[in-house]
Every structure is written in structure tokens, then in C-alpha cells.
Amino acid sequence: MKAAIIGGGVIGGGWAARFLLNGWDVAVADPDPQAERKIAAVLDNARRALPALYDRALPHEGRLTFHADLATAVAGADWVQESVPEVLEVKHRILPMIAAAAGPQAIIGSSTSGFKPSELNAAGTHAIVAHPFNPVYLLPLVELVGDTDTCARAADILRSIGMYPLTVRHEIDAHIADRLLEAVWREALWLVKDGIATTAEVDEAIRMGFGIRWAQMGLFETYRIAGGEAGMAHFMAQFGPALSWPWTKLMDVPEFNDELVDLIASQSDAQSGHLSIRELERLRDDNVVAMIRALRRTGSGAGGVVTAHEAALPDAGEGDGLPITAMRQVPVSWTDYNGHMNETHYLETASLATDRFMQMIGVDADYIASGRSYFTVESHIRHLDEVHAGDRLTVTTQVMAGAGKRLHLFNRLWRDDTLTATVETMLLHTDLSTRRTSDPDPAVAAHLSGWVDRHAGMPAPEGAGRSVGLGR
């Protein structure tokens, strides 16, 4: 699959990273002589952050190319994303050029944050709005506006690269999310202009309070809870009258003059001017990754999107005749004060591999819900080489034994062609209702027996069976 990105700024670069890191070839067209350097900086951040959301490896990167000619970039593309400046005259000049060069299969999306499809397509083009949020490579939301069938096709593609398409029912200026953001932005400008709060204090009010609630529940579910056991109807009855009180200035805009710009800019510089933009981006990315990973535990919000996308990623196949049971990139949070991966996460990686092998023999969520599983009773780890943030780990699993209640596995952790660790594990099948060992279901036993036979002719791994329990 190929995506063409027209305009390589912050948003265009984010789109390029999102597609590229999901295995698409990406062609970029941008007359800016600094486009390659700017996109390289975005890609550095994306390669560090996006894989950290996942417990499985994303597809191998596609091929990135840069083109001076728009038509060459667009040729053969399945998706064309226009991310030129937010000036309607510029879009009216670029979109017909894209339409003329694109094939009939191509979806043409515009990153516009405010214009409607009817405005974009005044020159007879057929683009849809595909409005993302920065950083595009991490935040899943994309607002889709336009032709129903095209938006449906677009939604399928966006889900396949781990995004959350939200189709807007009727076209409207600024779509949905930016209209909400605009309301908060206007009120924040008044609070700063009137001396009620500084830029830092406004940001603290958001990130220390309702911003966290919004990240996992949004607006209406948050207020439903605020209504207590009586729910939303009670909340509306209790707080509805406040809508007529003069609390906000949403219909007013402070005069946008040099004085206001200097006030906001000076406070913003005092707030975070000690950090470069790249440092702020990485701080933002690390925080977004941590919050989305936390949301994965409950399947809420953006966490549910990542979990669904991960489940759709293809299996990794085999390596050296053994099943590849885990592939993932090492996140920054796994490294310690020595600069390499902490010993805890070697075991965690092997645990992911063991869980995957259990699924392969039928010990999946339904089996566990029925009251049966395997419990780890002993593990033996050998640390053979350092692993650093950003390294891609691949785990192969060899079945050493699997008869009756016992399951004996040997996991190898590889960084490219280098063996970095081995984790040998003994597990016993257990009845969850009695917490005692038991024989597995016949179907599970049959699957396991097949793997035992398949691996029976392989030599015993070096270092296997050195711990007391595993040597018996």
C-alpha cells in the first residue's frame, strides 16, 4: 500500500510517520528545502513513541521517498493526504492537481481543521476531510467529513493503521473537536487577558483536573457520574440553570492585538521556555504513551483502539524452525539508570511469549474463563547482552516437555541476530476453582503434544535445565 503526503509540515510529517510505521510506502511532496530534515525529526520521535504503545511489533517500515513533482508522488497511491497551509486558495490550487494525478482507487483526504468538503471541492474535486490531531502518529482520532461511501472506505483504512475514525454526520465549520477546543481557547484567552490566571495556571487547571477525566470518559460520561445515582437527568436539572449565568465569554473574543500576543507569549515563555520544542515533543509523547497504555488495562478510550489494532496485526511466523511468540520494540520506560533494559523486563518479554504460546495450544481467554490455566512455578534467566531503548526484540519458543500437567518452555530473546537472553520456564496446569494442579483439556493436550513432537528432534539449548526444579 502507498500513501502520498502533500505538505510535510508538523501534520504532514505525522501522517507520514503513521503510515510508514504501519508498513506503508510513503511518498512526500513539499517544495520546502527543509522538508526532509523536518520529517526526519518527526520520524525520530515517532519511532521512539508509537511502538511503545504495543506489546507486539508493528509491521516493518515501508519505503519513504521525497519528490519535487506532486504528480510523481501521487502516482499509484491508495491514499493521498493534503496537508498544505490552511488557506482555501492554496487548497483550491493543490486539490485539482492531486485529483488529476491520482488514480480512481485513491482516497483524497484533507487535513483541514476548519473547511467543509463543499468548500474544498468548489473546483470540482472529490476530497473528504480527514482531520487528525497532533501528534498524528500517536493520537488515534481522525474526523471524517464528506461522501458517505468514501468516508466508509477511509474509515476501514484508518482502523488498519491504528486510528479511530469519527464520521461527522453533517458538514459544519471546524467539525466537532475543534469547535470544542475553540470554546475552551476563547475562555482561556479572556482569563489571561483579564489577569484572572496565567497561561501556566490555565494549563494546570486542565491537566490536574478535568483533562485526566476527559482522557478516558469524555464530557458527557463525566457529567453523568457527576449526577450521582440519579444519572444525567439529575445533573442536567441541578446544573442546567447555570447555563444562563454570565460565567463565560464564549460569544466574545478579546481584541487580538500586539498587547495580547505579547502577554500570552511572555507567559508561555516563562512557563516552558527552558525546554526546546523537541524536548517538549518527547515529554508530550512519553506522557501520551503512558496514559494510553494505562487506558489499555481497561480498554477505555484510546487504549481500546490500540488493543484492537494490535489484535489485528499479523502473526510473526517462525525463526530457526521455532514459533516467533513475541516481537516488540523496547520502550524508554523499560530502561534503567545504567541506560539499558532492566532485568524485570527480560522476564516480562518472556512472559508475553509464554502467554502467546499458551494461546497457540488453546489456552486462550475463553479457556481461562472456564476455570483452567497454566501457572508458572519456576523460571531461569540468563542475561547475555545489553538491550537498549528502541531495540526490536524477537522471541522464539522451544517446547522442552509437555506431558500431563507439566509444560516446559525455553524462550530465546533476540536483537536482530544477537541472542540477548534466554528464559527457561516450568508451568503446571491448574484448576482455578481449587487452585490445585490438574490435567489439561484433551484438545489442549493434543495441541501441546503436536508441538512436543515437532521439537523433539531439536538439540537441547545451551544452559537448559540448570535450575533445581527444571533439572529434575
Q: How many CA atoms lie within 13 A of 89 on its CB side?
A: 0
Is 8 annotated in a binding site? The answer is yes
Is 84 annotated in a binding site? The answer is no
Cβ–Cβ under 8 Å, residues 5 and 29: yes
Is 5 annotated in a binding site? The answer is no
Give the alpha-carbon dihedral of 337, 342, 343, 348, to 10 degrees.
160
List CB contacts of 406: < 8 A, sequence separation 6 or more.
426, 427, 428, 429
List CB contacts of 239: < 8 A, sequence separation 6 or more.
223, 226
DSSP string, 347-370: HHHHHHHHHHHHHHTT-SHHHHHT
DSSP string, 208-271: IIIHHHHHHHTTHHHHHHHTGGGHHHHHHHHHGGGGGSTT--TT------HHHHHHHHHHHHHH
Is 12 annotated in a binding site? The answer is yes
- Strand bridging mode 322-329 / 318-319: antiparallel
Report d(CA 262, CA 258) in Å as an integer: 6
Distance from first CA to last CA of the chain, Å, rounded?
Answer: 52
Q: Which residues are annotated as a binding site for NAD(+)?
A: 7-12
Q: Which residues are annotated as a binding site?
A: 7-12
